[in-house]
């Protein structure tokens, strides 16, 4: 039995949102399209698409937004154009940035820009670390929250200082905001306040929003229009964006309204974890509705224990698990979504006890 099949058989799943079948997803999309009289866009021209782009742009306080088929294409294109505008191909970004970890060297092989890593791999980079770079920068990328380090974020004062410095030094400040919505409740700020001071923002349409895929790039009208042309040049001009936009737009308002609930559930999870020292959360306090959990067993052993608990108890603890920094340690990510909202505090403690006990066997 595959891991996907095993997860599907579980009655309780901790991470993420409830997963609909394709049939259920497409049926919901069809009903929403009929209720809202949705027509297909054609190569990006269409009422639904452009109204949704403007809705997202206005929500974050930007002039414009444009759909892109993938976040991978979105971010390197935005940074390439930012560097061209400022006359430097140097981009400062964290060692765990998605561009470096998961995009197979596209920024380098396609000659988009030159990457300078900044900061400690276990913490968000700081203003002092940015100032320590002696070379003129075209751009700096800040991920909010930083997924590969458990969803950590700089504090608000540090964030404001970074924004001010980049503006003063003519450094294009770009946000990897794939999970931006998850930080609003943690910061206690509206997304427009968090995004203010950034020159461009990338947003995912499927991660926290639960859509099918796709992304958006936000910025000035001129910047977004130029990026749109570059998306076409790179093969991103799909004839119909409609499925991706509908899948996100039909649940957009409800997802954003639920973000505070996801964060409160994350806080409850942190509180419950205090009783189980073998399950160590990173960061030490909630900074977004996600976290990493470190375990004193190897990656292979962690997978075995997860699968055994799924088979015997019908509980799916986590998805991907990675090697830890220490031998015979591992780490997994928990994104807090709909699934954990359905689990009571008492049941959550029972599941954590089951998980913790398994680590000692």
pLDDT by residue, tens only, the chain of 361 residues: 898 999 999 999 999 999 899 999 999 999 999 999 999 999 999 999 999 999 999 999 999 999 999 999 999 999 999 999 999 999 999 999 999 999 999 999 999 999 999 999 999 999 999 999 999 999 999 999 999 999 999 999 999 999 999 999 999 999 999 999 999 988 999 999 999 999 999 999 999 999 999 999 999 999 999 999 999 999 999 999 999 999 999 999 999 999 999 999 999 999 999 999 999 999 999 999 999 999 999 999 999 999 999 999 999 999 999 999 999 999 999 999 999 998 999 999 999 999 999 999 8
| Pair 72, 213: CB distance under 8 Å | no
Q: Which of 173, 152, 153, 151 is nearest to 162 (CA)?
A: 173
Bond before 100 cis per omega within 30 degrees? no
| Pair 95, 115: CB distance under 8 Å | no
Q: Which of 353, 334, 315 is nearest to 266 (CA)?
A: 334
Tell me how far apart the alpha carbons of residues 149 and 196 are, in angstroms, rounded to a whole number: 24
How many helices and strands (H and E) does the chain possess?
A: 16, 13
| Pair 348, 336: CB distance under 8 Å | no
Which residues on adjacent β-strands are paired with residue 13? 316
pLDDT at 310: 97
Token pair belonging to 124: 């968000």
Token pair belonging to 26: 């497409």
Tell me how far apart the alpha carbons of residues 110 and 248 are, in angstroms, rounded to a whole number: 30
pLDDT at 361: 85
Tell me how far apart the alpha carbons of residues 105 and 95 are, in angstroms, rounded to a whole number: 13
90: three-class secondary structure by DSSP? strand
Which residues on adjacent β-strands are paired with residue 204? 215
**Domain ranges (residues) in the chain:** 3-20+254-359, 38-250
- What architecture is the 3-20+254-359 domain classified under in CATH? Alpha-Beta Complex (3.90)
Which residues on adjacent β-strands are paired with residue 190? none
Q: Which helix (H) or strand (E) holds 75?
A: helix 71-86
Rg (CA), the chain: 21
Token pair belonging to 90: 């140097």
pLDDT at 10: 96
pLDDT at 342: 86
- What architecture is the 38-250 domain classified under in CATH? 3-Layer(aba) Sandwich (3.40)
pLDDT at 17: 94
Residue with tokens 């980049």: 166
| Pair 80, 113: CB distance under 8 Å | yes
pLDDT at 66: 98
Tell me how far apart the alpha carbons of residues 212 and 199 are, in angstroms, rounded to a whole number: 27
């Amino acid at each position: 039995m595959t891991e996907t099949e095993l997860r599907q058989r579980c009655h309780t799943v901790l991470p993420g949102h409830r997963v609909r079948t394709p049939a259920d997803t497409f049926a919901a999309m069809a009903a929403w399209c009929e209720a809202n009289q949705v027509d297909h866009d054609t190569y990006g021209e269409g009422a639904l698409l452009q109204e949704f782009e403007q809705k997202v742009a206005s929500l974050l306080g930007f002039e414009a937004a444009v759909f892109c088929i993938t976040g991978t294409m979105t971010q390197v294109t935005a940074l390439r154009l930012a560097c061209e505008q400022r006359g430097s191909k140097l981009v400062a970004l964290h060692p765990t940035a998605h561009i470096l970890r998961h995009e197979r060297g596209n920024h380098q092989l396609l000659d988009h820009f030159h990457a300078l890593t900044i900061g400690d791999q276990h913490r968000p980079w700081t203003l002092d670390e940015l100032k320590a770079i002696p070379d003129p920068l075209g751009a700096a990328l800040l991920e909010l929250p930083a997924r590969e380090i458990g969803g950590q974020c700089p504090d608000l004062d540090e964030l404001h200082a970074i924004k001010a410095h980049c503006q003063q030094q003519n450094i294009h400040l770009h946000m990897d905001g794939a999970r931006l919505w998850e930080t609003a409740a943690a910061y206690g700020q509206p997304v427009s306040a968090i995004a203010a001071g950034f020159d461009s923002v990338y947003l995912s349409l499927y991660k926290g929003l639960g859509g099918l895929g796709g992304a958006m790039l936000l910025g000035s009208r001129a910047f977004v229009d130029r990026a749109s042309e570059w998306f076409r040049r790179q093969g991103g001009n799909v004839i119909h964006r409609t499925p991706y936009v509908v899948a996100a737009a039909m649940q957009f308002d409800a997802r954003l309204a639920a973000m505070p609930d996801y964060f409160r559930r994350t806080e409850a999870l942190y509180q419950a974890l205090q009783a189980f020292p073998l399950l160590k959360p990173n960061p030490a306090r909630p900074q977004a509705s996600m976290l990493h959990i470190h375990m004193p067993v190897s990656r292979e052993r962690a997978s075995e224990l997860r699968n055994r608990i799924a088979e015997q108890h019908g509980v799916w603890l986590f998805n991907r698990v990675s090697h830890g920094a220490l031998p015979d340690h591992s780490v997994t990510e928990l994104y807090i979504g709909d699934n954990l909202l359905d689990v009571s505090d008492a049941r959550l403690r029972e599941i954590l006890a089951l998980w913790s006990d398994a680590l000692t066997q």
